[in-house]
Structure 1
Amino acid sequence: MTSEKNKLGTQVAENPPESWWQKAWKSQRENLQIVIIALSLAIVIRAMVAEPRYIPSDSMVPTLHVGDRVVVEKISYYLEPPKTGDIVVFTPPEKLQEEGFTQDQAFIKRIIGLPGQTVAVKKGLVYLNDQPLVEKYIAEPPKYQWGPYRVPENEYFVMGDNRNNSNDSSRWGFLPKQNIIGRAVVRFWPLERIGEV
Structure 2
Amino acid sequence: MTEQNNNTENLNKEDKANESTKEGAFSQTKETEPVKSEKQLKKEKRNKLWNEIFSWIGVICTAVLLATAIRGLLAEPIRVDGNSMSETLVDGEIVIATKPRVLRGDLKHGDIVICHYPRRNEKTINIGTKLNFRVDTAFIKRLVALPGDTIAIIDGELFVNDKLVEEDYIAHKSLQSYPRRVLGDDEYFVMGDNRANSHDSRSRNVGTISSDMIVAHAKWVIYPFDRIRSLD
Give the structure-1-normalised TM-score: 0.82
Aligned position for 2:213 = 179
1:70/1:189 contact within 8 Å kept: yes
In 2, distance between residues paired with 1:125 and 1:108?
A: 21
What secondary structure sits across from 1:42 in the alignment? helix
CA displacement, residues 99-121 of structure 1 (integer Å, 9 cap, x when unaligned): 99x64211110000111111111
Identify if the C-alpha distance between structure 1 residues 13 and 135 changes in structure 2 by more than 3 Å, giving closer, same or farther: same
The Cα of 1:91 is off from its aligned counterpart by: 1.5
Aligned position for 2:226 = 192
Aligned position for 2:161 = 129
What secondary structure sits across from 1:6 in the alignment? helix
2:121/2:136 contact within 8 Å kept: no
Aligned position for 1:14 = 36
Aligned position for 1:66 = 91
2:121/2:137 contact within 8 Å kept: no
In 1, distance between residues paired with 2:182 and 2:135?
A: 26
- Which residues of 2 match residues 89-108 of structure 1 at below 5 A? 89-94=114-119, 96=120, 103-108=135-140
What secondary structure sits across from 1:158 in the alignment? strand
In 2, distance between residues paired with 1:140 and 1:134?
A: 14
In 2, distance between residues paired with 1:27 and 1:60?
A: 49
Aligned position for 2:190 = 158
Give structure 2 stretches of 5+ with no counterpart: 1-26, 125-133
1:113/1:157 contact within 8 Å kept: yes
In 1, distance between residues paired with 2:156 and 2:212?
A: 31
Q: Going by fraction, where is helix more abundant, 1 or 2? A: 2
What secondary structure sits across from 1:85 in the alignment? coil
Moved over 3 A (4+): 9-36, 96-100
Give structure 1 stretches of 5+ with no counterpart: none
CA displacement, residues 72-91 of structure 1 (integer Å, 9 cap, x when unaligned): 11121222431101111111
1:92/1:103 contact within 8 Å kept: no
1:6/1:12 contact within 8 Å kept: no
Aligned position for 2:3 = none
Give the structure-2-normalised TM-score: 0.71
CA RMSD of aligned residues (A): 2.9
Q: Going by fraction, where is strand more abundant, 1 or 2? A: 1
What secondary structure sits across from 1:17 in the alignment? helix
1:71/1:184 contact within 8 Å kept: yes
In 2, distance between residues paired with 1:62 and 1:160?
A: 10
The sequence identity of aligned pairs, in percent, is 33
What secondary structure sits across from 2:188 in the alignment? strand
Aligned position for 1:87 = 112
Aligned position for 2:150 = 118
